[in-house]
């Protein structure tokens, strides 16, 4: 594309296009090696920061039994816990906020309270993933509850590279 | 018919393998005849793949339920538009689509350069055909779309496509993303060819610069459309969640954006040779990697995947590509030494390098955040997830620096900026940004922002303000560039302002088109900064109750339910008031289709350039007396979509073929090849508009069409005759559900 070189229009914002003929001129004296070293050092430090920060941003993901197995250590942690909603433990009705229910896995269970809107696929017996902090009463105060999709969408050919979301809420 | 399809796939595989060998011989010996033969092998491969693709498309449209693929992805009630969409709705089909694009672009590239780049072309042909062969192996042995059904369990109606995917955006989002990923093959092939030839001159750069914009454009559009779909269908009020699958297609976009900039430096100044080759290889590897993680179910995300066998195939392909690329790169490392060095840190080259580093840093952040949870699980068995706030924490500041660099890179001189340059070029934009930013922010805050009732945290507001400042600065630089360009032309050629502008685009399309792309980016950043004032609230309302969200108040007026046979459609009626004045009614709803147990949300959004009001209806009590909603007010979200359109326009200006380029296409036998090429470009640009049109004037995107489908007498639809899968297709059914939109 020759056109790109036709800089005659530019009232001098850039060097005129003698650059092209200068291509065979000797290069500049180059940038001081120390500048490059410093740049790389800064980069390395930043990368280190990013990675350690990433470690801190990890949210552990447990099944209910794994979570309960930690005993007192779980209190105060921010975790994601997966389990089945126990029949008969769901308090409150659809169309309300502030719901409480118990999720269980392998004989262990934990109470979950959630102040937001539960997804409409939520019902007794479904698998949910609740994310939040465990309080002193050993209840998970969730700020996000996801419902695993009905089995109809599992297995068979995926309908899309990024297929069906677990529920219409993603972490924000 | 299906046997022919299957045969076409195997034939294409055979030809591409032969073509690879021919191209290799041509490359080693420089034989023209072998080169010619390999070129025709590439054309024949394209032909065979096109035959296979047409047969699959035909099977989908005619409801040929002897194919498992057709059964799993369509049903008899789907409109034609979604039947076509089902082509890339499933795994095998999307892979076939991918291969079609690769072969199409290969054929185009070989045809365009049939008389140029003689020493490169055999190797380019070889790389493209080898990759095609690799993908065809996966298709033929891992996931053949022409798998038949046994007669015994031959279904009468298909499973259909998940209703959540039946929106027009979902029909064009996958193909544009796949096209972007697949067409990345061509510039990659040039890079590998450059390595094989060991050529240190800028030939591959010239070719790559012409071919990289196409994948970039499709990747951009594909990513944004995916966000658009998520925003309108999923109901969490956002368009980007840092989901692994989104990240997978975002990383190649980041690297290819970096590459577009650094190629410019190499073309101009002969620098960064190694860097560019490295970036090109990295970009392509990331496209394959992204496909691998989405296809193999390697990474669990909020998306569920089909765990499938082809993940392993993809892994082998990926490892082969990595091994070959890295091996060649190491082999040629010495000969790729740049001829020149950086003159000064205060120069455009340095700014571009910094921009490249930033893009790489961003890619690194996304890569780490996407892959680390998986690695950790592999190492310790403990599942973890890295949540969106972490991504934001790192990407936002990087993004802000990037915006400022965008402005500086536009202004600063090549080689070495002097103080006088600096004064002349920077004074306008810097002043604009010093005075314009506070004025703009204050104006918005007092006119609108303070009423939203959100007081963002210190850091968030700092980021938002810096982002706006960056946007103002860049806008000022772009305006200045255009102003000076127009002035200069008018001084020299005595043109009117408008014709001077047109001539700028004509004469220096890449440069000024690039500025337009930058402008689109800036609009997107405006949308990002609006998120700082985003209001979100989960509310529960009984009939007649009102709730305040920001300065908008919503009153729930009850549900209306419609029960066409076999489905359920529930609409919530909400009156929206602002400052006590009635504004409009909103009707978010839920729909339950056919035998699906899942309800899908029909979200209602009122979008203006100032802000979006977004209501999703979640659930209701059994008697319909109370219901819960998610309500969002998102300032400036509109600008994100607008930014996409502007970016497309800019990319389009860059891509608009010059007279010479059209001439190289030559006279095709029918003389209409060039029109087809132009037509495709025009079609791409108008696609979003077409989709909006389709969505607004028909019932394709809404639950209403299910109502219509429900009105069709089930007895009336003809059931397909049972036919052994090896036969021709069964008697075709009248696609009962293709409705005429009234």
Residue B139 is classified by DSSP as I
For residue B405, the model assigns a pLDDT of 93
The answer, yes or no, to whether residue B490 has pLDDT greater than 90, is: no
Q: Give the C-alpha separation, B648 to B625, whole Å.
A: 47
CA distance B478 to B482: 6
**pLDDT mean over B205-220:** 88
B592 forms beta bridges with B568, B599
Mean pLDDT to the nearest integer, B471-493: 91
The three-state secondary structure class of B333 is: coil
pLDDT score, position A88: 85
pLDDT tens column, B686-726: 666 666 666 666 555 554 554 454 433 333 333 333 333 33
d(C-alpha A37, C-alpha A32), whole Å: 9
User: How many percent of chain B have pLDDT more than 70?
Assistant: 83
Which of B240, B185, B264, B194 has its CA nearest to residue B218? B185
Contact between A28 and B622 using a beta-carbon 8 Å cutoff: no
Residue B506 has pLDDT above 70, yes or no: yes
The pTM for the full model equals: 0.84
Residue-level pLDDT at B691: 67
* Mean pLDDT, chain A, whole residue set: 70
- Taking contacts as CB-CB distances below 8 angstroms, the residues of chain A near B597 are 150, 152
Domains of chain A: 60-147 (2.40.50.140)
Confidence of residue A168 (pLDDT cuts 50, 70, 90): very low
Q: Does the CB of A48 have a partner CB in chain B at under 8 Å?
A: no
CB nearest B372 (choices: A35, A54, A156): A54
Give the Cβ contact number of residue B378 at 10 Å. Answer: 8
A94, A159, A161 ranked by CB distance to B620: nearest: A94
Using the predicted structure, report yes or no on whether residue B443 has a pLDDT greater than 50. Answer: yes
Contact list, B306 vs chain A (CB under 8 Å): 155-158, 163
Higher pLDDT, B575 or A172: B575
**CB contact (8 A) between residue A53 and residue B390:** yes
Cβ-Cβ contacts under 8 Å for B589 (sequence gap 6 or more): B569, B570, B571, B572, B601, B602, B604, B617, B703
Is the pLDDT at B254 greater than 90, yes or no?
yes
Nearest to B98 by CA among B19, B13, B183: B183
DSSP state of B668: -
Whole-angstrom Cα distance, residue B310 to residue B413?
50
Residue of A nearest to B92 (CA): A157
> Do residue B73 and residue A159 have CB atoms under 8 angstroms apart?
yes
Q: What is the mean pLDDT of residues B157-175?
A: 76
Ranges A22-26, A50-54, A72-76, B543-547, most confident: B543-547
Count the helix, strand and coil residues of chain A and give each as a percent rounded to the nearest 5: 30, 25, 45
B630/A117 Cβ within 8 A = yes
pLDDT score, position B82 = 82
CA atoms of B701 and B696, how far apart (whole Å): 8
What are the sequence ranges of the domains in chain B?
418-533, 535-638
Burial of A45 (0-12, 13-18, 19+ CB in 10 A): exposed
Q: Of A119-123, B85-89, B504-508, where does mean pLDDT reach its minimum? A: A119-123
- Give the gyration radius of chain A's Cα atoms: 28
Phi, psi of B182 (to 5 degrees): -70, -40
- The pLDDT-based confidence of A16 (bands split at 50, 70, 90) is very low
CA distance A124 to B402: 48
Name the more confident of B315 and A148: B315
- For an interface test with B, the pick among A43, A51, A123, A165 (most B C-beta atoms closer than 10 Å) comes out as A165
Q: Are the C-beta atoms of B453 and B535 separated by less than 8 Å? A: yes
Q: What is the pLDDT of residue B296?
A: 65
């Amino acid at each position: 594309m020759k056109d790109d070189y036709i800089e005659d229009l530019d009232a001098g914002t850039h060097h005129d296009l003698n650059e092209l003929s200068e291509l065979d001129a000797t290069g500049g004296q180059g940038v001081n090696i120390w500048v490059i070293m410093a740049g790389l050092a800064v980069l390395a430090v930043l990368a280190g920061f990013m990675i350690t920060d990433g470690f801190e941003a990890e949210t552990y993901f447990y099944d209910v039994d794994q979570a309960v197995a930690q005993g007192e250590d779980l209190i105060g942690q921010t975790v994601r816990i997966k389990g089945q909603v126990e029949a008969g433990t769901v308090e409150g009705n659809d169309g309300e906020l502030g719901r409480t229910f118990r999720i269980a896995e392998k004989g262990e269970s934990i109470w979950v309270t959630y102040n937001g809107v539960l997804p409409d696929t939520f019902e007794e017996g479904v698998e949910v993933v609740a994310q939040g902090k465990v309080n002193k009463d050993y209840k998970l105060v969730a700020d996000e509850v996801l419902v695993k999709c009905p089995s109809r969408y599992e297995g068979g050919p995926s309908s899309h590279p990024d297929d069906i979301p677990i529920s219409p809420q993603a972490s924000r | 018919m299906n046997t022919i399809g299957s045969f076409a796939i195997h034939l294409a595989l055979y030809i591409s393998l032969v073509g690879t060998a021919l191209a290799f011989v041509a490359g080693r010996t420089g034989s023209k005849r072998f080169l010619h033969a390999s070129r025709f092998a590439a054309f024949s491969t394209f032909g065979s793949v096109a035959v296979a693709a047409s047969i699959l498309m035909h099977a989908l449209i005619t409801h040929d339920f002897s194919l498992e693929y057709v059964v799993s992805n369509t049903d008899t009630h789907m409109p034609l538009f979604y039947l076509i969409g089902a082509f890339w709705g499933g795994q095998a089909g999307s892979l076939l689509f991918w291969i079609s694009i690769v072969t199409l672009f290969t054929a185009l590239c070989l045809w365009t350069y049939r008389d140029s780049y003689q020493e490169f072309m055999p190797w380019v042909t070889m790389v493209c055909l080898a990759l095609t062969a690799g993908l065809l192996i996966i298709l033929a042995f891992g996931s053949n779309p022409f798998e038949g059904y046994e007669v015994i369990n031959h279904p009468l109606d298909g499973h259909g496509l998940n209703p959540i995917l039946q929106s027009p955006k979902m029909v064009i989002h996958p193909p544009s993303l796949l096209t972007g990923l697949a067409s990345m093959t061509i510039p990659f092939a040039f890079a590998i060819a450059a390595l094989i030839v060991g050529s240190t001159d800028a030939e591959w750069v010239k070719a790559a610069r012409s071919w990289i914009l196409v994948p970039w454009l499709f990747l951009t559009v594909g990513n944004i459309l995916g966000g658009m779909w998520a925003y309108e269908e999923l109901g969490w009020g956002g368009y980007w969640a840092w989901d692994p699958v989104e990240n997978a297609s975002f990383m190649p976009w980041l690297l290819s954006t970096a590459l577009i900039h650094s190629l410019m430096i190499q073309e101009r100044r002969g620098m960064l040779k190694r860097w560019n080759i490295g970036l090109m290889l990295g970009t392509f590897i990331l496209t394959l990697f992204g496909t691998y993680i989405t296809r193999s179910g390697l990474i669990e995300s909020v998306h569920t995947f089909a765990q499938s066998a082809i993940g392993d195939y993809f892994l082998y392909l990926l490892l082969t590509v990595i091994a070959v690329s890295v091996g060649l790169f190491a082999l040629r490392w010495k000969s790729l030494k740049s001829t020149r060095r950086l003159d000064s840190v205060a120069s455009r080259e340095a700014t571009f390098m910094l921009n490249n580093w930033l893009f790489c840093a961003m890619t690194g952040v996304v890569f780490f955040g996407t892959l680390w949870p998986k690695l950790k699980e592999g190492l310790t068995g403990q599942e973890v997830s890295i949540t969106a706030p972490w991504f934001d924490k790192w990407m936002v500041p990087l993004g802000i620096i990037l915006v400022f660099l965008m402005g500086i890179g536009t202004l600063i001189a090549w080689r070495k900026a002097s103080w006088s340059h600096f004064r002349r070029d920077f004074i306008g934009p810097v002043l604009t940004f010093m005075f314009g930013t506070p004025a703009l922010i204050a104006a918005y805050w007092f006119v609108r922002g303070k009423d939203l009732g959100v007081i963002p945290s210190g850091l968030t507001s700092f980021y938002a303000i810096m982002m706006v400042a960056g946007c103002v600065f860049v806008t000022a630089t772009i305006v200045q560039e255009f102003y000076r360009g127009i002035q200069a032309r008018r001084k020299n050629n005595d043109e009117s302002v408008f014709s001077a502008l047109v001539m700028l685009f004509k004469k220096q399309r890449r440069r000024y088109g690039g500025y337009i792309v930058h402008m689109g980016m800036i609009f997107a950043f405006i949308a990002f900064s609006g998120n700082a004032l985003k209001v979100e609230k989960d509310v529960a309302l009984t009939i007649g109750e009102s709730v305040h969200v920001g300065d908008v108040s919503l009153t729930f007026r009850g549900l209306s339910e419609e029960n066409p046979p076999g489905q359920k459609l529930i609409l919530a009626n909400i009156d929206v008031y602002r400052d006590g004045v009635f504004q409009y009614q909103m009707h978010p709803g839920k729909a339950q289709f056919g035998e699906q147990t899942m309800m899908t949300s029909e979200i209602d959004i009122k979008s203006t350039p100032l802000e979006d009001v977004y209501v999703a209806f979640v659930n209701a009590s059994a008697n319909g007396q109370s219901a819960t909603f998610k309500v969002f007010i998102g300032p400036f979200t509109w600008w994100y979509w607008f930014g996409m359109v502007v970016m497309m326009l800019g990319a389009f200006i860059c891509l608009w073929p010059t007279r010479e380029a059209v001439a190289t296409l030559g006279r095709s036998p029918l003389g209409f090849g060039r029109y087809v090429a132009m037509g495709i470009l025009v079609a791409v640009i108008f696609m979003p508009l077409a989709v909006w049109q389709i969505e607004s004037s028909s019932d394709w995107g809404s639950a209403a069409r299910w109502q219509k489908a429900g009105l069709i007498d089930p007895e009336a639809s003809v059931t397909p005759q049972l036919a052994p899968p090896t036969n021709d297709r069964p008697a075709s059914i009248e696609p009962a559900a293709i409705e005429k939109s009234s």
